Amino acid sequence: MTATLRAGLVETAARRGLPINKRTARHAVAAVPDWVAGHTLLDLPEHRFPGLLAVASDLVARVDEAGAERGRSEGEG
């Protein structure tokens, strides 16, 4: 599941105009709850789907925050 989240994070960030590299995505995904790493979408227990949505939303929010921070720092220079 973590590989899927990493790939999705890279793609989502690029579509939002805030491209990140795989290394950055790997670091972000490393902070997700432990239960995520032990599953695929096919074997994820049904009760975990709301949690997965929350994890994905949090990852995208982090990208948005990092992009906003990057924009502020570039505007200062």
Please give the single-letter amino acid code of residue 54: A
| Nearest CA-CA partner of 2 in 52, 45, 49 | 52
The pLDDT tens digits for 3-27 are: 999 999 999 999 988 888 899 899 9
> Is the pLDDT higher at 67 or at 2?
2
The pLDDT tens digits for 21-56 are: 899 899 999 989 999 988 898 999 999 999 999 999
Q: How many CA atoms lie within 13 A of 47 on its CB side?
A: 1
Host domain of residue 33: 2-76
Q: What is the pLDDT of residue 68?
A: 72
Domains in the chain: how many in total?
1
Q: What is the pLDDT of residue 65?
A: 82
